[in-house]
């Protein structure tokens, strides 16, 4: 079954981790995928892997914090590939400086994290609004367990604020665009093993164990764990689902 046949999907941060897995999964379901990443080589490598497996993929360098670059690339993609019907706002960073840490470092974290995790979502969504409205498209935003919680394990207020913001944006946009048939949902990953947390996993096994101990399914997640829910939210399987967040956290939020 090709759940995403005839769709054109854009995935930001598609060169690594969760974005890479989602783009690969979407291509497997028949979507033509456009992979965006600030790391052009990583996006190109993922696109090549998708093509080698028989999918259709193009890659583009993009820094989603640049509104102008998002709009310029949206124009290029529409002209070269067609009207985007699925947008996955995935690119994001996490840092674990406490708010009481060095003032300048905390201010830089705030700027960088909000610019990417929240403003990047805004930039991309605005840039693709026209094709998404024309195609009665679907938006999938990547939130977090920190769309609801602030972790007692070290994290940053900026990251928590950004992911709460992603959920609020998801709900507000779903309400505004629903009448036009555009669906807007989010995914809330738990601790997923990706390069984003490679250093933590390598240097702080206690922290990782704290996560696992708190997780009913008793393990960390893998990027592939996000793929099924991401396909669900982009496909007609979720035709009557909008404004919600699907938690993919091994049950972390339930205990
Ligand atoms: P990842 O492996 O680090 O992948 C993120 C990708 O985004 C990287 O290729 C990165 O490039 C790229 N990127 C960074 N800045 C960018 C920019 N300004 N414009 C475009 N692309 C940019 O991270 P991940 O774990 O897959 O995370 C993906 C999303 O899931 C993020 O929104 C994250 O907050 C969320 N999430 C992750 C977890 C988790 O446990 N992993 C949990 C909850 C939520 P560089 O590598 O060159 O920086």
Closest ligand 1 atom to residue 91 Cα is 7
- Does the structure show a pLDDT above 90 at 198? yes
* Mean pLDDT lowest among 4-8, 99-103, 115-119, 223-227: 99-103
Ligand 1 pocket mutation, candidates 12, 13, 123, 253, criterion most atoms within 8 A of CB: 13
Q: Which atom of ligand 1 lies at the shortest distance from residue 13's CA? A: 7
Q: Is 12 in the pocket of ligand 1 (CB under 6 A)?
A: yes
pLDDT given at position 11 = 99
Ligand 1 atom at shortest distance from the alpha carbon of 63: 19
Give the global pTM. Answer: 0.98
Kindly provide the b/e burial profile for residues 33-68, where b requires at least 16 CB atoms within 10 angstroms of the residue's own CB. Answer: bbbbbbeeebbbbbbeebeeeebebbbbbbbbbbee
pLDDT tens digits along 79-125: 999 999 999 999 999 998 889 989 999 999 999 999 999 999 999 99
Mean pLDDT of 120-148: 98
Q: Rounded to an integer, what distance in angstroms lies between the CA atom of residue 231 and that of residue 29?
A: 8
**Ligand 1 center to 73 CA (angstroms):** 20
Q: Identify which has the larger pLDDT, 229 or 200.
A: 229
Q: Which residue has the higher pLDDT, 31 or 150?
A: 31
Per-residue confidence (pLDDT) for residue 167, from 0 to 100 = 98
> 26, 128, 159, 252: which one is catalytic?
159
What average pLDDT score do residues 196-219 get? Answer: 95
Is 128 designated active site?
Answer: no
Q: Whose Cα sits closest to atom 10 in ligand 1?
A: 13
pLDDT per residue as tens digits for the range 13-61:
999 999 999 999 999 999 999 999 999 999 999 999 999 999 999 999 9
| DSSP label of 26 | H
Instruction: Tell me the mean pLDDT in the region 53-71.
Output: 98
For the chain, the average pLDDT equals 97
Rounded to an integer, the average pLDDT of 179-199 is 97
The CA 132 to ligand 1 mean position distance, Å, reads 23
> pLDDT tier at 213 (50, 70, 90 boundaries)?
very high
* pLDDT at position 145 over 90: yes
Predicted local confidence at residue 152, as pLDDT? 79
Instruction: Say what the pLDDT of residue 108 is.
Output: 96
Distance (Å) from CA 179 to ligand 1 centroid: 31
Identify which of 17, 46, 124, 253 to mutate to test ligand 1's pocket (most ligand atoms within 8 A of the CB): 17
Rounded to the nearest angstrom, the distance between the alpha carbon of 129 and the centre of ligand 1 is: 23
Give residue 1's pLDDT: 65
When mean pLDDT is compared across 18-22, 121-125, 207-211, 246-250, the lowest value belongs to 207-211
Please enumerate, as own/partner, the contacts of 210-218 that have beta carbons within 8 Å and a separation of 24 or more: 210/153, 211/153, 211/252, 214/252, 214/255, 215/190, 215/191, 215/249, 215/250, 215/251, 215/252, 216/250, 216/251, 216/252, 216/254, 216/255, 217/250, 217/251, 218/250
* Ligand 1 touching residue 226 (CB < 6 A): no
What spacing in Å lies between the alpha carbon of 16 and ligand 1's midpoint? 7
Pocket test for ligand 1, best of 22, 34, 38 (most atoms within 8 A of CB): 38
pLDDT mean over 192-214: 95
């Amino acid at each position: 079954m090709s759940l995403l046949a005839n769709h054109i999907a854009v995935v930001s941060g598609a060169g690594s981790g969760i974005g890479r897995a989602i783009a690969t999964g979407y291509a497997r379901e028949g979507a033509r995928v456009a992979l965006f990443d600030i790391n052009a080589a990583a996006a190109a490598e993922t696109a090549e892997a998708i093509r080698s497996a028989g999918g259709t993929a193009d890659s583009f360098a993009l820094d989603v914090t640049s509104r102008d670059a998002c709009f310029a690339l949206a124009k290029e993609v529409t002209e070269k590939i067609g009207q985007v019907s699925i947008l996955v706002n995935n690119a994001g960073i996490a840092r674990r400086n406490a708010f009481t840490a060095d003032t300048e470092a905390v201010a830089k974290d705030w700027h960088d994290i909000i610019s990417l995790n929240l403003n990047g979502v805004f930039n991309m969504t605005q840039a693709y609004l026209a094709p998404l409205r024309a195609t009665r498209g679907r938006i999938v935003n990547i939130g977090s367990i920190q769309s609801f919680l602030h972790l007692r394990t070290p994290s940053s207020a900026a990251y928590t604020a950004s992911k709460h913001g992603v959920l609020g944006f998801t709900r507000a946009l779903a309400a505004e665009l629903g009448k036009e048939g555009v669906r807007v949902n989010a995914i809330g990953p738990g601790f997923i093993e990706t390069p984003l947390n490679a250093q933590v996993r390598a240097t702080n096994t206690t922290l990782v164990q704290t996560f696992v101990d708190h997780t009913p399914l008793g393990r960390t997640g893998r990027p592939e764990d996000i793929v099924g829910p991401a396909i669900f939210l982009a496909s007609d399987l979720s035709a009557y689902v909008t404004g919600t967040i699907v938690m993919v956290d091994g049950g972390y939020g339930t205990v």
